[in-house]
Amino acid sequence: MKRSALVCMVCMVFSFVLGAVLPADVSAAQPKKVVVATDATWPPMEMLDANKNIVGFDIDYMNAVAKEAGFQVEFKNTAWDGIFGGLETGNYDAIISSVTITDERKKKYDFSLPYINAGQVLVVPKTTKGVKTLADMKGKSVGAQIGTTGAMEVQKVKGVELKNYDEIGLAFEDMAAGRIAGVVCDTPVAADYALQRAEYKAKFMIVGEPFTQEQYGIVVKKGNKALLDLINKGIKAVQKKGIDKQLEKKWLR
């Protein structure tokens, strides 16, 4: 009887200790709060509003991912030149900041599933008729920033004249003045100029879908599989429910 009592006591103590340890381990594997860095200088993806709140497509998207996956998110405004270094030193858990997924970056960091294609799009005046693709711009001049993917794409289309600019804002100025018929640039830049800026949003429109693949992903430290799985779970739910399309309509269309 004494041996049985001793065994029972040991089991009770073991169960108590195991119960105290397991929640902490599970909590570490499935974080309740994730600190996410973003460089809030890239409208409409991430930026500061008039009240200095961080807003934008990426912010809404990450909040939706967190809600669907069951964790809380805290954003940390971080300058781009140190954003990856801060992830490596543990200043935050993840990055969402218009980060293009590249083979070079994948050697150093782990990426979530792609959450948006921020490829090249065509912007034209709202008075333009019959244009759905870049090929429909034959016989016209189209602007792009020199050396960019956009400029390369314009050069591929026979019959479309490329006009290079040192800065993309100059191309939009020329289009507003009627000196060129369209501008090709990546989706976030197009959305900023055509949809967000007061001087242009009544004049310009984005036509068609992105015609290059430049996928953005959420970045986590190499080997952080638990967090990556959690984020991917949220992304899958956001995509399944069509929340991503709602956010694209809000910020990018």
Q: Give the CATH number of the domain where residue 236 resides.
A: 3.40.190.10
> Does residue 195 lie within any of the structural domains?
yes
Question: Does pTM surpass 0.85?
Answer: no
Q: Give pLDDT, residue 24.
A: 42
Q: Give pLDDT, residue 2.
A: 35
Asked which of 174, 189, 207 is the last residue of a domain, the reply is: 207
Chain segment 146-179, per-residue pLDDT in tens: 988 899 999 999 999 999 999 899 999 999 999 9
> Does residue 101 lie within any of the structural domains?
yes
Q: Supply the DSSP symbol for 130.
A: S
Total domains, the chain: 2
Give the domain extent around 188.
Answer: 120-207
> Does residue 194 lie within any of the structural domains?
yes
Q: Based on the fold, state whether residues 78 and 96 are members of the same structural domain.
A: yes
Q: Based on the fold, state whether residues 157 and 198 are members of the same structural domain.
A: yes
Q: Based on the fold, state whether residues 220 and 111 are members of the same structural domain.
A: yes
Q: Give pLDDT, residue 252.
A: 86
Indicate the residue type of 205: M
Q: Give pLDDT, residue 11.
A: 45
Q: Mind giving me the DSSP string for 180-210?
A: -SEEEEEHHHHHIIIII-TTTTTTEEEES--
Of 53, 63, 10, 4, nearest in space to 33 by CA: 63
CA 70 to chain centre: 20
* Residue ranges of the chain whose pLDDT lies below 70: 1-31
> Does residue 192 lie within any of the structural domains?
yes
Tokens matching residue 75? 């954003």
Q: Give pLDDT, residue 153.
A: 95
